[in-house]
């Protein structure tokens, strides 16, 4: 099955700095890698994803990079703002029942200090 | 989140009682997942439904947990004889399967507290 490890567990930055969260996965067949943001009292929300046929994807201040050879992918947030404070989860799919079941990392608590 | 409604949003129950949690997704999504999130923890997979196939129950922690999905839409997660360690947020998610679009959408969850 898939094993996803996420680091760091906690990340504290000053407003305006960049933040990077890294995940590694074990199943070389995995081909879809989403990132979720979870604010207090809410369910996780998909913020960006990447498929295995590309190495990088950007959406305004957020980017995700993928290294299939090394089996790791990272979330990059530039010019961080206090509203970026949340718990971020990465995920990688593991095959099950003919489709894919996301296995999640343990999460990173990002704190952006104003 | 938009597309997945969970009820109740909060549930407090006495130890030993049974509880039923509901997930009501918008139509058109064949894949449905239940996850559990304990305080300060990640997302623990519980069960997965895909169309008319037999559900993947590999994540259910004990036989006190069961789930069903009626008519390919609404799903209920039942916990029998609740224990204090069952206290957690239970999240339902839907996803598209097929040619490669796996965009999962989560509900806001049910916060279960067993006292």
For B30-63, the pLDDT digits (tens) are 789 999 999 877 899 999 998 888 899 999 999 9
Residue matched to tokens 């609740």: B82
Nearest to A49 by CA among B15, B42, B96, B21: B96
Q: Do B106 and A97 touch (CB under 8 A)?
A: no
Distance between CA atoms of residues A3 and A89, nearest Å: 14
Distance between CA atoms of residues A20 and B105, nearest Å: 24
- A61: enclosing H helix or E strand: none
B74/A contact by beta carbon, under 8 A: no
Ranges of residues in chain A with a pLDDT under 70 are 1, 95-99
| pLDDT for residue B42 | 84
DSSP B102: -
- CA–CA min distance B16, chain A (Å): 26
B43/A contact by beta carbon, under 8 A: yes
Ranges of residues in chain B with a pLDDT under 70 are 1-2, 27-28, 96-102
Beta-carbon pairs below 8 A across chains A and B = 70
| pLDDT for residue B30 | 76
Asked if A107 contacts A100 with a C-beta cutoff of 8 angstroms, the reply is no
| pLDDT for residue B46 | 96
| pLDDT for residue B3 | 83
DSSP B18-46: -EEEEEEEPTT--EEEEEEE-TT--PEEE
| pLDDT for residue A31 | 85
Among the partner-chain residues B53, B95, B100, the one whose CB lies closest to the CB of A98 is: B53
């Amino acid at each position: 099955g898939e094993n996803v490890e996420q680091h760091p567990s906690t990340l504290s930055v000053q407003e305006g700095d960049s933040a990077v969260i890294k995940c590694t996965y074990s199943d070389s067949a995995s081909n879809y890698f989403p990132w979720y943001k979870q604010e207090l009292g809410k369910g996780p929300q998909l913020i960006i994803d990447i498929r295995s046929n590309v190495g990088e994807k950007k959406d305004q201040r957020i980017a995700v990079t993928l290294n299939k050879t090394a089996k790791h992918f990272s979330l990059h947030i530039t010019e961080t703002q206090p509203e970026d404070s949340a718990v971020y989860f990465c995920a990688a799919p593991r095959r099950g029942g003919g489709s894919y079941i996301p296995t999640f990392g343990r999460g990173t608590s990002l704190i952006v200090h104003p | 989140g938009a597309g997945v409604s969970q009820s109740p949003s909060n549930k407090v129950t006495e130890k030993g009682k049974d509880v039923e949690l509901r997930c009501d997704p918008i139509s058109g999504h064949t894949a449905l997942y239940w996850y559990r999130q304990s305080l300060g923890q990640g997302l623990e997979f519980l069960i997965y439904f895909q169309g008319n196939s037999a559900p993947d129950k590999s994540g259910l922690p004990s036989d006190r947990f069961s789930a069903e999905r009626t008519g390919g839409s609404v799903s209920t997660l039942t916990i029998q004889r609740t224990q204090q360690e069952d206290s957690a947020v239970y999240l339902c998610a839907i996803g598209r399967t097929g040619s490669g679009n796996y965009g999962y959408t989560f509900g806001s969850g049910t916060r279960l507290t067993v006292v």
